[in-house]
Amino acid sequence: MFAGSDSVEVVSGDWSLASDRAPFDLLFSDGGPKRAPGDPERLAALVPAGGLVVLDDYTPSRADKKDPPRRIWLESSLYRAQELLVAPDAAVILAVRL
């Protein structure tokens, strides 16, 4: 999708490998049940204020959003985050760095 674009660099791999290329205005991170406390803080070092972190691999939440992998993003003081349904069985979290 970004072939031929001089203003976009796509980096694939573990997020820690990208730290020497930070900051990123847009950062995609695999989400879901692998998320752990501290992840928002670690990724915050890679994203400037106003930058967007996109996290995939969430099952849509129901009435409550109490599972820890989701809550650590939705309740982080470093981001304004919102869950977005992208398919009947799939959701992402969009988190804007404050």
Calpha distance 11→3 (Å, rounded): 13
Task: Specify the pairing of strand 26-30 against strand 90-97.
Answer: unpaired
Res 7 pLDDT > 70: yes
pTM score: 0.83
CB contact at 8 A, 40 and 73: yes
Calpha distance 73→40 (Å, rounded): 7
Burial class (CB in 10 A: 0-12, 13-18, 19+), 49: exposed
- Tens digits of residue pLDDT in 10-22: 777 776 677 888 8
- Tens digits of residue pLDDT in 46-87: 999 999 999 998 888 765 667 888 888 999 999 999 999 999
Calpha distance 50→62 (Å, rounded): 28
Average per-residue pLDDT for the chain: 85
